[in-house]
Amino acid sequence: MITFVVIFAGAYAGMLLLLFLAQRSLLYHPSKSAFDAVEFSALGFELVEYEAPGGLRLQSLYRKSAMDGRAILYFHGNAGHAGHRAQKVRPYLDAGYGVLLAGYRGYGPNPGKITEKALYVDAAAALNYLKERGIPEEKIILYGESLGTGVAVHLAKNRKFAALVLESSFSSIAKVAQSQFPIFPVKFLVRDRYESDRKIAAAGAPLLFLHGLRDTTVPLRFGRALFAAAPEPKEFIEFSDAGHNDLYDHGAPERVIGYLQERDLGP
């Protein structure tokens, strides 16, 4: 019996150590491929480059509003890279919005090490790029997808954006991780925590939440928990047949555009 306990304790400790050491590999799944020039050019995007604090230069994709109106600053999720969202945002381009698909360090052609703090720095650099092109914060719509919701919420603190759209959001990465590994105390070991529930009260923009009822990656309860902590005005749209990555197959862009236009936030 004692031998069994020792073996079990050793295996448990080993697994816990492995989870701790590999946590960023489990959280971030970047593609290192270059942006597809044929695809982004066909959609009217241009490859742009700007400098983040510290001197790191980041490549992103940008298309100016056809009517010099509002711009969507888009922060993607933990997998792939910004270029993989070019087709996804086509409905916003067709509606006349400008879009900046913000590139992160360590994703696509961009160098650098991926961490929570680093992505916040990259987000601020993307915002500065739009502001330098004469687009004020009150004309910028922040859009966060999954992990990108944590980036967007952080950037929205104490700022007055036109709107904040959160797709498949979460209260904190630590809480989501704990739900995925319930037998381990991982919530105490997570380095990149993205604690949106502690920040969202300071978001100075109307809030729209989108979440799939069948989402098993970030279950609905985590989006609902963040919604409960969010200030008014806010709205939550639940997609009964959608999971984590397929909200756009169930009418999400039409709902977002309708929400923006109802609030006179068109281009």
Task: Specify if 267 maps to a domain.
Answer: no
Q: What angle do CA 85, 88, 90 make, to 5 degrees?
A: 115
CATH value at residue 173: 3.40.50.1820
**Which of 76, 81, 211, 244 is the catalytic position?**
244
pLDDT value, residue 189? 83
Domain count, the chain: 1
Task: Specify if 76 maps to a domain.
Answer: yes
pLDDT value, residue 1? 61
**CA–CA separation, 54 vs 79, rounded Å?**
25
Query: Looking at residues 72-89, what average pLDDT do you find?
Result: 97
Query: CB-based contacts of 136: which residues, under 8 Å, 6+ apart?
Result: none
Task: Specify if 103 maps to a domain.
Answer: yes
Lowest mean pLDDT among 121-135, 138-152, 171-185: 171-185
Average pLDDT value over all residues in the chain = 92
Annotated catalytic, 215? yes
For residue 249, is pLDDT > 60?
A: yes
For 14-31, write each residue's pLDDT tens digit.
665 666 666 788 789 999
Annotated catalytic, 241? no
DSSP letter, residue 105: T
Annotated catalytic, 146? yes
**Which of 146, 168, 169, 196 is the catalytic position?**
146
Full residue range of the structural domain in which residue 52 is found: 2-262
DSSP letter, residue 81: -
For 88-113, write each residue's pLDDT tens digit.
999 999 999 999 999 999 999 999 99
